[in-house]
C-alpha cells in the first residue's frame, strides 16, 4: 500500500531544547494513544545500524546524543559542549522517528525552533520551517473519519496554520514541478467559512469543507483517498487551488 503524507506548518518561534523535547514527547503520547500504528518508534540515528525502540523516558537523552553530532549552530551548551535544557539551535531542532524494519510503515520528522540564518559546513543555509511531517501507510489511511481526527489532533497540538494530507504524485499534478498546497484534505487557519470563495461552484464539483474548532477551515476533495489517475479528483484539486489563488489565500 502506498504511503501518504500529513504535513503541518506553524509560525516560527524560538524555543529551547527542553521545550522541543516536551512538545515532542507530548505529541508522541497523543498519537500512540490515538492508534497503535504510531507505537514502537525509534529515533533515527545516522551513526547507528542497530534499530531499537526509544522509550519516551529516554527520548530527551537520545535526542541530545543525536543532535550534538550535527553541525547546527547550537548556543548555550554546557562546559563539556553538550546540549542542556536551555540550549537553542539557530537552525532549528530536528527529531526523526520511524517504525521498525521491515515494515517501516511510519516516519515522523519534527522541525522547530530555528531563529536565524546560519552556516553548515561552510554553506549558507536558511532556518528550517516549523513543521511536522508524518508519512505512513496502513488500512486506516483510507478511512476518512480516522484521517480527519488525526489531522485535528495534529492541528491542535502544533497550533498549525496550514496542513494537508497528500501524496506527491497527486500534489505535483496540480501545480507542475512543485508540491501544491492542496491535498486530499487541506487545512488553512486564515480562511473562515464565511470567506470561502465560489461556494456553489466548489459544492457542485463535490468539494466539501468544515470548520475546525481551533479556527480555520478543512477542505476535502472527496470522501475517499484521491488519485492522480482519477480525472475528477484532479479537476477538483485544480479548481480549489485556482479559486483560493484568485483570492490570495495561497501562493502560485
Q: Is the pLDDT of residue 76 over 60?
A: yes
Residue 189: the pLDDT is 95
Q: Is the pLDDT of residue 179 over 80?
A: no
Residue 117: the pLDDT is 57
Give mean pLDDT, residues 223-249. Answer: 92
Q: Is the pLDDT of residue 6 over 90?
A: yes
Q: Is the pLDDT of residue 182 over 50?
A: yes
Secondary structure (H, E, C), the chain? CCCEEEEEECCCCCCCHHHHHHHHHHHHHHHHHHCHHHCCEEECCCCCCCCCCCCHHHHHHHHHHHHCCCCCCEECCCCCCCCCCCCEECCCEEEEEEECCCCCCEEEEEEECCCCCEEECCEEECCCCCEEEEEECCHHHHCHHHHHHHHHHHHHHHCCCEEEEECHHHHHHHHCCCCCCCCCEEEECCCCHHHCCCHHHHHHCCCEEEECCCCCEEEECCCCCCCCCCHHHHHHHHHHHHHHHHCCCCCC
Q: Is the pLDDT of residue 180 over 60?
A: yes
Residue 69: the pLDDT is 63
Dump pLDDT digits (tens) for 80-138.
888 899 999 888 888 888 886 556 688 999 988 887 655 444 444 444 568 999 998 87
Give mean pLDDT, residues 8-32. Answer: 92
Query: Predicted confidence band at 49 (pLDDT cuts at 50, 70, 90)?
Result: very low
Amino acid at each position: 500500500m502506498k504511503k501518504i503524507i500529513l504535513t503541518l506548518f506553524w509560525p516560527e518561534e524560538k524555543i529551547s531544547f527542553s521545550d522541543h523535547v516536551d512538545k515532542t514527547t507530548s505529541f508522541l503520547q497523543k498519537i500512540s494513544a490515538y492508534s497503535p500504528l504510531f507505537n514502537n518508534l525509534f529515533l533515527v540515528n545516522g551513526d547507528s545500524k542497530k534499530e531499537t525502540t526509544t522509550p519516551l523516558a529516554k527520548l530527551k537523552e537520545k535526542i541530545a546524543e543525536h543532535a550534538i553530532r550535527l553541525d547546527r549552530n547550537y548556543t548555550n551548551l554546557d562546559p563539556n559542549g553538550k546540549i542542556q535544557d536551555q540550549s537553542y539551535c539557530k537552525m532549528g531542532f530536528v527529531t526523526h522517528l520511524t517504525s521498525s524494519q521491515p515494515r517501516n510503515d511510519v516516519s515522523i520528522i519534527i522541525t522547530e525552533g530555528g531563529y536565524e540564518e546560519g552556516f553548515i559546513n561552510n554553506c549558507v543555509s536558511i532556518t528550517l520551517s516549523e513543521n511536522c511531517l508524518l508519512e505512513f501507510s496502513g488500512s486506516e489511511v483510507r478511512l476518512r473519519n480516522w484521517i480527519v481526527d488525526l489531522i485535528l489532533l495534529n492541528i491542535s497540538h502544533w497550533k498549525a496554520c496550514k496542513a494537508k494530507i497528500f501524496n506527491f504524485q497527486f500534489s505535483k499534478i496540480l501545480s507542475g514541478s512543485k508540491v501544491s498546497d492542496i491535498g486530499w484534505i487541506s487545512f488553512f487557519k486564515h480562511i473562515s467559512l464565511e470567506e470561502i470563495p465560489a461556494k456553489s461552484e466548489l459544492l457542485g464539483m463535490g468539494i466539501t469543507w468544515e470548520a475546525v474548532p481551533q479556527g480555520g477551515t478543512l477542505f476535502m476533495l472527496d470522501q475517499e483517498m484521491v488519485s492522480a489517475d482519477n480525472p475528477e479528483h484532479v479537476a477538483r484539486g485544480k479548481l480549489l487551488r485556482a479559486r483560493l489563488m484568485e483570492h490570495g489565500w495561497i501562493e502560485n
